Amino acid sequence: MTAEKILTRNFERADSHTLTAYLETGGYTAWQKAQTLPPAAITEEVKQSNLRGLGGAGFPTGTKWSFIPKNHTGPVYLVINADEGEPGTFKDRYLLERDPHALIEGMLIAARAIRSATGFVYVRGEYVEPYRRFSTAVSEAYDAGYLGKGFDVVVHRGAGAYICGEETGLISSLEGKKGWPKLKPPFPAIKGAFGAPTIVNNVETICHVPHIITRGAGWFASLGTKTQGGTRMYSVSGRVRRPGVYEASVAITLRRLIDELADGVTGNGRLKAVVPGGASAAILRADEIDVTMDVDGLRNAGTMAGSAGVIVMDETVSIPEALMVVARFYAHESCGQCTPCRESTGWIYKMVRRIVEGRGRKDDLDTILDVARRGAGTTICAFYDGAVGPYISYIEKFRGEFEALIDGAGARVVATPASRAATAHA
């Protein structure tokens, strides 16, 4: 079930990012084929493939494309979300650096499907090298005549704000504003970037498209589960022997991912908890990892596939401290636009920090849970629900650890080989 490598097949080649290498491995032939297909047929093929968005929300890609109003005559934009920022996720960085032409080819095909003449690729500001690699590939594609004939690509750099990964925050940012997510409705497919119908897709999602066109929807669908086709790239980090990016079927179990691909748990070797889909996914206990990694599998397990950023924690990890780190992230990254998120992310971080620092109060845990539950679902964008996932799951599943800290019984469990060494040195 680890399947063949599709997106990552060229990653071992030192020159995988060049046009030459891409053409040698069959690059741009899917685009040749797509040009013979009517746009609606491309969308239909992608629908049949069961490709689902790999940026976080897991929305069926072909269905999303079909939301572009049929009789629309003005411009339509294709926007690629390369603002990778979900903690624990690093797959798009690899794709931009090691296979940029796959993204360009996928964009050409997607643009044909949605009748777009302009694509924007929004690369997170800190990704300087991926930005350069991808920009070079775009120049190559212009020189080779793939771009500039009915479809143009503009590569855009962000400037440091996690919320610009949220698709409407990204659109605001692309428009030259602060990255405040927009109210929905209207949805981007109706009124998105610059007021025009817009499709936002993740880098990895679009990189799959050429293969679907070449090898067919049936093949792609067969790689996954009933409701989600294909492989995806798992970013595995934390306390594992071999952290890194692994491509595997969406139907792989979390246990196999950790044990077989990432070569097992380090630290004390015993698993305590895993975050399966980036920081915003609810945490799973060691006994909850026999789940498949597809969107529905993880949803049924009470968490989410998100960006497939897997963060592994062994028994020596302090869950309250982990939550403090995560809560700090949400407090720092809340865009501040809507009240529940703006006001409570900061407050919850203050409470969790207090608990970790040994100044917790008896009612803190219930307050955090209550505030998080009350705020869930009331905000402009899904950022806050993404914060609520960890707030609630870390506390509910590891309440004892928090209570121990509040009762003063819990010594701080931070020890890691690296930090011990470093502390000794400092």
Partner 1 sequence: MPKLTINGHAVEVPPGTNLIEAARRVGVEIPHYCYHPGLSIAGQCRLCMVDIEKTPRPTIACNTLAAEGMVVATETDRVKETRKSIMEFHLINHPLDCPVCDQAGECWLQIYYMEHGLYDPRMRDEKVHKPKAVPLGPHVMLDAERCILCSRCVRFCDEVTRTGELGIFDRGDHSEIGLFPGTELANKYSGNVVDICPVGALTDRDFRFAVRVWYLDSAKSVCPGCARGCNIEVHVNRRRPHHNEGRRVARLKPRFNADVNRWWICDAGRYGFAFVDDKTRLVAPARREDGAVGDATWEEAIGAVAGALRRFAPDEIGVFASPKMANEDLWALRRVLEAPGIRRVAFRVPPREPGDADTLLIRSDKNPNSHGAALLGLDGDGAAILAAARARQVKCLWVFGHDLLAGAWPEAETDAALRALPLLIFTGTNANATSERAHWVLPAAAWVEREGTYTNFEGRVQRFRQAVEPLGQALPEWDILGRVLRALGVEVGATRAERWFRELAAAVPAFAGLTYQAIGDTGAVLSAPTAGHPRSEPASRTPLQ
Partner 2 sequence: MSGRDRTDGATRASSRPPTDHAGLEVPAPTVAFSAEQLGEVRRLQGLYPDRRAALLPVLHLAQETFGYISLEVERYVAGLFDLTPAHVHEVVTFYTMFFRAPKGRHVVAVCHNLSCHLAGAPAIVAHLQGRLGIHVGETTADGRVTLQSVECLCACEHAPMMQVDDRYEFGLTPEKVDRILEGLR
Ligand X SMILES: Cc1cc2nc3c(=O)[nH]c(=O)nc-3n(C[C@H](O)[C@H](O)[C@H](O)COP(=O)(O)O)c2cc1C
Closest residue to ligand SF4, based on beta-carbon distance? 341
By a kind-dependent CB cut-off of 5 to 8 A, residue 175 interacts, out of partner 1, partner 2, ligand X, none, with partner 2
Choosing from 125, 264, 336, 346, the residue that interacts with ligand SF4 (CB under 6 A) is 336
d(CA 87, CA 107): 26
Closer residue to ligand X in complex, CB, 179/243: 179
Regarding 201 and contact with ligand SF4 (CB under 6 A), the answer is: no
Residue 412: CB minimum distance to partner 2, A:
11
Closest residue to ligand X, based on beta-carbon distance? 53
Closer residue to ligand X in complex, CB, 26/160: 160
Phi and psi at residue 106, in whole multiples of 5°?
-60, -40
Residues that bind partner 1 (CB under 8 A): 161, 178, 183, 185, 331-340, 342-347, 350-351, 354, 361, 363, 367, 371, 374-375, 377-380
145 class by beta-carbon count within 10 Å (0-12 exposed, 13-18 middle, 19+ buried): exposed
Residue 77: CB minimum distance to ligand SF4, A:
22
By a kind-dependent CB cut-off of 5 to 8 A, residue 17 interacts, out of ligand X, ligand SF4, partner 2, none, with none
d(CA 360, CA 317): 19
Bridge partners of 79? 120, 200
User: Where do the H-state alpha helices sit in 304-409?
Assistant: 319-333, 339-356, 364-375, 383-397, 399-406
Closer residue to partner 1 in complex, CB, 5/350: 350
C-beta separation of 359 from 401 below 8 A? no
Q: Which residue has the tokens 């999303």?
A: 64
By a kind-dependent CB cut-off of 5 to 8 A, residue 99 interacts, out of partner 2, ligand SF4, partner 1, none, with none
By a kind-dependent CB cut-off of 5 to 8 A, residue 116 interacts, out of partner 1, ligand SF4, ligand X, none, with none
Closer residue to partner 2 in complex, CB, 190/325: 325
Bridge partners of 52? 60
Residues that bind ligand X (CB under 6 A): 53-57, 59, 61, 81, 83-86, 163, 165-167, 200-202, 205, 381-383, 386
DSSP string, 108-141: HHHHHHHT-SEEEEEE-TT-HHHHHHHHHHHHHH
C-beta separation of 341 from 405 below 8 A? no
Three-state DSSP class for residue 80: strand
By a kind-dependent CB cut-off of 5 to 8 A, residue 332 interacts, out of partner 2, ligand X, ligand SF4, none, with partner 2
Six-digit token string for 232: 């995806």
Regarding 280 and contact with ligand SF4 (CB under 6 A), the answer is: no
Closer residue to partner 2 in complex, CB, 109/311: 311
Stretch that binds ligand SF4, among 52-60, 104-112, 187-195, 381-389 (CB under 6 A): 381-389
By a kind-dependent CB cut-off of 5 to 8 A, residue 384 interacts, out of partner 1, ligand X, ligand SF4, none, with ligand SF4
Closer residue to ligand SF4 in complex, CB, 246/349: 349
End-to-end CA gap in the chain? 46
Choosing from 127, 383, 391, 402, the residue that interacts with ligand SF4 (CB under 6 A) is 383
Six-digit token string for 49: 């493939």
H or E stretch covering 310: strand 309-314
By a kind-dependent CB cut-off of 5 to 8 A, residue 6 interacts, out of partner 1, ligand SF4, partner 2, none, with none
Closer residue to ligand X in complex, CB, 196/382: 382
Distances (CA, A) of 91 to 39, 98, 235, 312, 329: 29, 11, 6, 17, 20
Residue 387: CB minimum distance to partner 1, A:
11
Residue 415: CB minimum distance to partner 1, A:
28
Six-digit token string for 353: 């920090």
By a kind-dependent CB cut-off of 5 to 8 A, residue 201 interacts, out of ligand X, ligand SF4, partner 2, none, with ligand X
Cα 280 to chain centroid, rounded: 10
Query: Which residues, 6+ apart, have CB-to-CB distance to 23 below 8 Å?
Result: none
* Pairing mode, strands 244-249 and 231-238: antiparallel
C-beta separation of 203 from 103 below 8 A? yes
Closer residue to ligand SF4 in complex, CB, 249/379: 379
Q: Which residue has the tokens 């066109």?
A: 213
Residues that bind partner 2 (CB under 8 A): 75, 84-90, 92-93, 118, 124-129, 154, 156-162, 173-179, 194, 196, 235-239, 243-245, 275, 279, 309, 311, 313, 317, 321-322, 325-326, 328-329, 332-333, 335, 414, 416-419, 421-423, 425-426
Cα 358 to chain centroid, rounded: 34
Choosing from 89, 116, 337, 393, the residue that interacts with ligand SF4 (CB under 6 A) is 337
